[in-house]
């Protein structure tokens, strides 16, 4: 893959219902290299994990330049395509969203997740109006097309996470987002097999499911027709849990059992030194 368009087309081709693209989300350069080294066909960022590493809480609490500088380091660290979680787009209007897209492309990214959650005090509800969100997705699509890169736009709807509605509302919003130019639909919080199957059947395009403990295995999600499986901040949360366990063990008992399964120092160094 010699250029960004090649990487974008390759990434787009990985979304196959029944043979899903599996994405263990990364949050910095070393986690991205580890994901790539494990055999992932692409790397997806987790916005939560990324901003935690920057010392901020999740929920679009860092500015666009800061977030995308971190994304650029991830894209630079790997050879596989990278898709970035850009939260709600780091902008309030179409012009600002176009600026975000240009910055995303400058970072070397070939896909984005853009969500319909509202952030900040005074928000009228947990989700943006479907028509407004469709306009935002259209602005992202238009900016990417103007740049000549077939950016994969994965439209996230938080209908299930927010409790705003179930399958019917999700399908209504998905249809509006697809009509506006979204390539795929991401529905975190929906993992019940019956629900997932309804969404697969009702969404006109590849469906992304966020999995984790208690969710069906990847093979089961594949059998339901899912085209993309990601884990959000799950890997980052597991890594941070290890940090807390190891710190507490060292401080409380003076022992080191939590460190026993750590990666070899030389292995990590070699991974990051390896010529791309």
Q: What is the DSSP string of 204-221?
A: SS-EEEE--TTSPPHHHH
Q: What is the pLDDT of residues 186-206, one digit of tens each?
A: 999 999 999 999 999 999 999
Helical segments of the chain, H only? 4-13, 29-37, 47-53, 64-77, 94-106, 130-147, 159-162, 167-179, 193-202, 218-223, 234-252, 265-273
Residue 110, burial from CB neighbour count under 10 angstroms (0-12, 13-18, 19+): buried
Q: With contact defined as beta carbons under 8 Å apart, do 130 and 89 qualify? A: no
State how far Cα 171 lies from the chain centre: 20
Residue 13, burial from CB neighbour count under 10 angstroms (0-12, 13-18, 19+): exposed
Give the Cα separation of 37 and 40 in Å (integer).
7
CA angle 31–33–37, rounded 5-degree value: 115
- Tell the residue number behind the tokens 């992304």, with chain if given: 208
Q: What integer pLDDT is reported at residue 150 of this predicted model?
A: 97
Q: What integer pLDDT is reported at residue 118 of this predicted model?
A: 86
Give the Cα separation of 238 and 243 in Å (integer).
9
Give the Cα separation of 160 and 233 in Å (integer).
17
- Tell the residue number behind the tokens 């292995």, with chain if given: 267
pLDDT < 50 positions in the chain = 1, 121-124, 275
Q: What integer pLDDT is reported at residue 275 of this predicted model?
A: 46
Q: Which two tokens stand for residue 201?
A: 């059947």
Residue 273, burial from CB neighbour count under 10 angstroms (0-12, 13-18, 19+): exposed
Give the Cα separation of 82 and 185 in Å (integer).
17
Strands 184-186 and 43-44: unpaired
Q: What integer pLDDT is reported at residue 120 of this predicted model?
A: 63
Residues 6+ apart with CB under 8 A from 170: 157, 159, 160, 187, 190, 199
Share of the chain above pLDDT 90, in %: 92
Q: What integer pLDDT is reported at residue 123 of this predicted model?
A: 43
């Amino acid at each position: 893959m010699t250029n960004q368009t090649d990487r974008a087309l390759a990434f787009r081709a990985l979304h196959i219902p029944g043979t899903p693209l599996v994405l263990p989300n990364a949050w910095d350069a070393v986690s991205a290299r580890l994901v790539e080294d494990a055999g992932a066909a692409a790397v997806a960022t987790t916005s939560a994990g990324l901003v935690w590493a920057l010392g901020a809480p999740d929920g679009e609490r860092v500015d666009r330049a800061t977030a995308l500088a971190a994304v650029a380091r991830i894209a630079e660290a790997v050879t596989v395509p990278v898709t970035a979680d850009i939260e709600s787009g780091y902008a309030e209007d179409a012009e600002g969203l176009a600026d975000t897209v240009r910055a995303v492309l400058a970072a070397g990214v070939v896909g984005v997740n853009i969500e319909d959650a509202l952030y900040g005090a005074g928000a009228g509800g947990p989700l943006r109006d479907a028509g407004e969100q469709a306009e935002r997705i259209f602005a992202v699509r238009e900016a990417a097309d103007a740049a000549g890169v077939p950016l994969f736009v994965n439209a996230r709807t938080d209908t299930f996470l927010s409790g705003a509605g179930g399958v019917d509302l999700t399908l209504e919003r998905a249809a509006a987002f697809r009509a506006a130019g979204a390539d795929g639909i991401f529905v975190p919080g929906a993992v019940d097999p019956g629900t997932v199957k309804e969404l697969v059947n009702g969404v006109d395009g590849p469906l992304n499911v966020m999995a984790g403990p208690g969710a069906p295995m990847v093979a089961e999600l594949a059998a339901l027709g899912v085209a993309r499986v990601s884990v959000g901040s799950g890997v980052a949360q597991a890594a941070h849990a290890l940090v807390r366990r190891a710190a507490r063990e060292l401080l409380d008992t003076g022992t080191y059992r939590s460190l026993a399964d750590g990666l070899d120092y030389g292995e990590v160094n070699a991974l990051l030194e390896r010529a791309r």
